[in-house]
Amino acid sequence: MSSSDPVKMVTIREVPGKGKGLVAAQKIPKGTRLLSEEPIIRIPEDAPDNPSLRASIRRQVESLTDEQRRSFLDMHNTYPGSMSTNSPSHYLGIIRTNALPMDDTTECGIFLSACRINHACDNNAQKGWNEAIKRHTIHALRDIDKDEEITISYLGVIKNRKARQEDIQRKFGFTCSCRLCSLPPHLSAESDRRLDEILKLDGLIGKAGVLGTIITAPKRVLRHVDQQIQLYNEQGPSDAGLSRAFFDAAQIAAINGDLARARVFAERAASAWLVAEGADNPIVLKAKAFAQDPSTYDIYGFSTAWKTSVDDIPHDLDATEFEDWLWRREKRHEPGQPVDLRNRATFPSFMELPDENDVDEDFFKSNDGVNYKPRRHWCFLAEIVDYGALLRLQMTIKDVSGETLPLFFHTDGRGGEISPSQTHKGYTVAILYAQQHAFAFSEPGIRHEDPPLIKIFPISLDNLLALSDRVQRFSSTKDQIRTCHGCDKRATCLKNCARCSMFWYCDADCQKVGWLDKGHKADCKLLQDGDLKGLFSLNWDEFQDFIKFPLRP
């Protein structure tokens, strides 16, 4: 990250097809500050052309040294007006062609070397205004070879090829032929798909809002950032959007009280910004301060749903496990192993459900942009808190995150399909493909229309989840080793319960312990229900066609 002599590091040269450009005079490591310049001329951004602007520009040009003036007048002008190189229109044309924004001010400026840098969509350097030193800086985003051209992006957000080409042509009047714009069609299509997806995720993350889904469904927003970062990394690791994305993740964690992850994300944002902006840039200092003590950040702890301390950062995980922890990724479901009913991707809370009025791409996919079908199956679990029937059966239910909501039965039989013996406080409803519905006369809830999509299990939600924990422990196999439900011994040759075929035992004695002392009598009775067993054995991640009750795994 050193800032050595810029004269030696870069040089201005003719670049075929682009006029002049900046070229590396030596090998330059990633993160090196290539330039740090004060403006020689500054004007208000988007200033209208009027006599006072022209007078200000003339004054500034006249006060340049001879060498500065020569360099300024040698700059490219895409606004040919007056033929005279000494006229204010020519000056203004040069400024409009070359000026770089000074982000924290409302001005833009002419910088003798930075304004010589040509554009590439896969730029190897990053431009930025550093308010602390009042200079414009250029940093190497990756290792740059001697004689390689230094490039920056003239565009704010990187879009697909067609949109980029249109923007560049419209705003700057040239056609970009960088490596990214010259990819063969199939690779270009792949890159476009990633960039479109990144942009779409950007929209979803931006829409989330500090008091919106960041609090009510934080895991979903974090998943969007996780996906975005994976796409950035596939696209090319040096995109400037990466630092922003890590900082977004740090904020999502901090807002929800998760200091451990907030620290890790903020550290990653700081390191990415350090490369692109340099150690003295306020944004790097801000990210470092955030990482140092995320609890001092003003958005910390709006919710305590994810409360952790910075000491909770795990140190004994391998790289993949650490990323899974960091991003709160649901454990991938291993085929042949029982499904975990605590997995919120498959068994979401109400706030995590898709909204009926939106196409939530987390849940649905389309091949033609018109017809959508589920990406996977999902099932909403909630406990009956209350119920009644006026015009139709209605329930108040409590979901996995403790939120209560209404469930209205808009079936042909207005809920009459549900037998009274099932309508019981403390029982758990399971609704396949549930979506959020905005009722005109009540708070948001679920409008249930299709009888085969609902099932009521005679068990409380807490007990169902506890049963799922036991199933995870005593019904799964790792390297052909199982755990005896009676004595916890781990072995390969256990016998399974002949009734439910899900729990395993060393022998009849252990089975007796399991049955009488460890609650298997009740569990086994519940597991006689093929639908409950189905919840544990269905392949939820692969959607072929809609499933319904009774489940046929």
Mapped onto helix, strand or coil, the DSSP state of residue 396 is: strand
Residue of 9, 10, 21, 536 interacting with ligand SAM (CB under 6 A):
21
Residue of 17, 29, 209, 553 interacting with ligand SAM (CB under 6 A):
17
Residue of 174, 302, 372, 549 interacting with ligand SAM (CB under 6 A):
174
What would the x/- binding string for ligand SAM be over residues 90 to 129, using CB under 6 A?
-------xx----------------xx-xxx---------
Q: How many residues bind ligand SAM (CB under 6 A)?
A: 19
CA–CA separation, 30 and 3 (whole Å): 12
Q: Which is nearer to ligand SAM, 36 or 98 (CB)?
A: 98
Helix or strand run (H / E) with residue 483? strand 482-483
Could you identify the residue written with the tokens 């649905």? 364
CA distances from 495 to 338, 339, 468, 505, 508 (A): 17, 21, 20, 5, 9
What is the dihedral sign for C-alpha 362, 366, 371, 373? Answer: negative
Q: How far is the CB of 335 from ligand SAM (least distance, A)?
A: 49
Q: How far is the CB of 163 from ligand SAM (least distance, A)?
A: 16
Provide the greatest CA pair distance for the chain: 103
CA–CA separation, 341 and 472 (whole Å): 9
CA–CA separation, 266 and 287 (whole Å): 6
Residue of 1, 11, 20, 410 interacting with ligand SAM (CB under 6 A):
20
CA distances from 466 to 306, 426, 499 (A): 21, 15, 20
CA distances from 187 to 181, 183, 200, 227, 518 (A): 10, 6, 20, 20, 58
What would the x/- binding string for ligand SAM be over residues 42 to 81, using CB under 6 A?
---------------------------------xx-x---
- Contact range with ligand SAM by CB under 6 A, out of 168-176, 238-246, 299-307, 456-464: 168-176
Question: Is 322 within 8 Å of 234 (Cβ atoms)?
Answer: no
Q: Which is nearer to ligand SAM, 116 or 139 (CB)?
A: 116
- Contact range with ligand SAM by CB under 6 A, out of 30-38, 64-72, 170-178, 455-463: 170-178
Structure tokens at 433: 């493909």
Pairing mode, strands 446-448 and 404-409: parallel
Question: Is 158 within 8 Å of 239 (Cβ atoms)?
Answer: yes
Q: Which is nearer to ligand SAM, 20 or 30 (CB)?
A: 20
Q: How far is the CB of 235 from ligand SAM (least distance, A)?
A: 19
Helix, strand, coil distribution of the chain in percent, nearest 5: 35, 20, 45
Q: Which is nearer to ligand SAM, 16 or 335 (CB)?
A: 16
Mapped onto helix, strand or coil, the DSSP state of residue 36 is: strand
Q: How far is the CB of 135 from ligand SAM (least distance, A)?
A: 18
Q: How far is the CB of 350 from ligand SAM (least distance, A)?
A: 50
Q: How far is the CB of 176 from ligand SAM (least distance, A)?
A: 5
E-strand stretches of 95-222 = 100-102, 107-110, 118-119, 125-130, 135-140, 151-152
According to CB under 6 A, which residues from 381 to 440 bind ligand SAM? Answer: none
Measured at the CA of 378, the angle between CA 500 and CA 328, to 5 degrees, comes to 100
- Contact range with ligand SAM by CB under 6 A, out of 171-179, 229-237, 316-324, 533-541: 171-179
What would the x/- binding string for ligand SAM be over residues 218 to 237, using CB under 6 A?
--------------------
- Contact range with ligand SAM by CB under 6 A, out of 13-21, 63-71, 316-324, 336-344: 13-21
Q: Which is nearer to ligand SAM, 72 or 504 (CB)?
A: 72
CA distances from 77 to 39, 57, 146, 541 (A): 18, 15, 28, 57
Integer-rounded Cα Rg, in Å, for the chain is 31
According to the binding rule CB under 6 A, does residue 18 interact with ligand SAM? yes
The DSSP line for 406-421 is: EEEE-STTTTTTS-TT
Q: How far is the CB of 117 from ligand SAM (least distance, A)?
A: 6
Q: Which is nearer to ligand SAM, 18 or 328 (CB)?
A: 18
End-to-end CA distance of the chain: 57
Residue of 19, 237, 388, 413 interacting with ligand SAM (CB under 6 A):
19
* Residues pairing with 432 in the sheet: 379
Q: Which is nearer to ligand SAM, 120 or 381 (CB)?
A: 120
CA–CA separation, 42 and 479 (whole Å): 69
Q: Which is nearer to ligand SAM, 176 or 208 (CB)?
A: 176
Q: How far is the CB of 116 from ligand SAM (least distance, A)?
A: 5
Residue of 176, 252, 287, 532 interacting with ligand SAM (CB under 6 A):
176
- Contact range with ligand SAM by CB under 6 A, out of 173-181, 244-252, 405-413, 451-459: 173-181
**Nearest residue to the partner ligand SAM, using Cβ:** 19
Mapped onto helix, strand or coil, the DSSP state of residue 248 is: helix
Going by the DSSP 8-state scheme, the letter that residue 390 receives in this structure is S
Residues of this chain that interact with ligand SAM (CB under 6 A) are 17-21, 75-76, 78, 97-98, 115-116, 118-120, 172-174, 176
